[in-house]
């Protein structure tokens, strides 16, 4: 049963003789009672026509990106979406795509969004895959309900709610995918930026470049400790020549790394203490008295060799 309900809007306003006058409000007809099952019926009856029209629209939209996705893949993605949408509408009369009936379609869109992110598409280009289906679907609804404008309006609104939610969902998954890629790349860069080099048997060097924060300190500590165990080293040189600034937090990170290395049986020498860094450390009141420091990596290496009763001499 289709029902009509009237709701009063704000009173009409107009000016009479320069003053604002309020008249009776305009009643507005609110159309209710049209089931989303009708959208399911439209998709079921005209699935092939909708697919053909939608592919045509997508090919127009993706004209500059056609080299990144083959026609067969675009068709497969579109067919999966239409079938998922049809099945969800047949199982649920709700426009809330967070309901369990929509889980399969969300899975399809999640895989699709990850695929588009990997291919280098933008978030907008990813979402337009879903949103472009509106034009094909609305055109079919207009034909089916040409003589029933109220039903057409209600079904159009319901379809808009559904497709907008699904379009936003693709953007959400796309963003999460890109964030995971960025985090992985950051982790890889952290590991590459903290190499542990064996200068001599039992002597390791860890040159640091860039800012030293908590996350990077953890990588530094882990790489150093693993190298100490793997190479049976008893001396490690931490060179901070490439660290632009040293504040209280950076100094604490260095002290923690030195303490961890000592627990593994290795002594540490910190090199690269420039005049500005020395003044900063003194000004901050950081106590490095228990740690051996040197101005350059070369000075630290000489001291490390001396500790192992080794020396480098010129051959004749």
Q: pLDDT (tens digit, 9 = 90+) per residue, 70-86? A: 889 999 999 999 999 99
197-307 fold: Transcription Regulator spoIIAA (3.30.750)
In CATH terms, are 34-188 and 197-307 the same topology?
Answer: no
Q: pLDDT (tens digit, 9 = 90+) per residue, 235-279? A: 999 999 988 888 888 888 888 889 999 999 999 999 998 888 888
Q: pLDDT (tens digit, 9 = 90+) per residue, 89-131? A: 999 888 899 999 999 999 999 999 999 998 889 999 999 999 9
Structural domain spans, the chain: 34-188, 197-307
- Residue 176 burial (10 A CB sphere; 0-12, 13-18, 19+): middle
Per-residue confidence (pLDDT) for residue 314, from 0 to 100: 62
CB of 193 closer than 8 Å to CB of 164: no
34-188 fold: Globin-like (1.10.490)
Rounded CA separation 60/62 (Å): 6
Q: pLDDT (tens digit, 9 = 90+) per residue, 202-242? A: 999 999 888 877 777 888 888 899 999 999 999 999 999 98
- What pTM does this model have? 0.61
């Amino acid at each position: 049963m289709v029902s009509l309900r009237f709701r009063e809007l704000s009173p009409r306003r107009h000016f009479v003789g320069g003053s604002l006058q309020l008249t009776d409000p305009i009643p507005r007809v609110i159309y209710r009672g049209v089931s989303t099952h009708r959208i399911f019926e439209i998709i079921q009856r005209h699935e092939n026509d909708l697919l053909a029209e939608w592919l045509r629209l997508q090919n127009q939209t993706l004209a500059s990106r056609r080299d990144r996705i083959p026609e067969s893949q675009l068709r497969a993605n579109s067919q999966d979406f239409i079938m998922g949408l049809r099945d969800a509408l047949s199982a649920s009369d709700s426009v809330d795509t967070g309901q369990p009936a929509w889980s399969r379609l969300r899975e399809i869109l999640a895989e699709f969004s990850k695929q588009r992110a990997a291919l280098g598409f933008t978030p907008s280009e990813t979402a337009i895959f879903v949103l472009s289906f509106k034009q094909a679907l609305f055109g079919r609804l207009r034909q089916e309900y040409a003589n029933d404008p109220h039903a057409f309006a209600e079904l159009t609104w319901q379809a808009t709610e559904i497709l907008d939610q699904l379009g936003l969902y693709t953007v959400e998954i796309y963003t999460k995918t890109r964030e995971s890629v960025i985090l992985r790349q950051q982790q890889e860069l952290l590991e590459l930026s903290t190499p542990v080099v064996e200068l001599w048997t039992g002597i390791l060097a860890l040159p640091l470049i860039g800012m030293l924060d908590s996350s990077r300190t953890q990588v530094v500590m882990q790489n150093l400790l693993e190298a100490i165990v793997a190479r049976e080293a008893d001396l490690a040189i931490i060179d901070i020549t490439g660290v632009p600034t040293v504040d209280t937090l950076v100094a604490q990170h260095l002290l923690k790394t030195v303490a961890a290395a000592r627990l593994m049986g290795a002594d540490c020498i910190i090199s690269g203490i420039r005049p500005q860094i020395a003044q900063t450390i003194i000004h901050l009141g950081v106590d490095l008295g228990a740690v051996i420091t040197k101005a350059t990596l070369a000075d630290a290496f000489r001291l490390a060799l001396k500790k192992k009763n080794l020396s480098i001499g010129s051959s004749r």
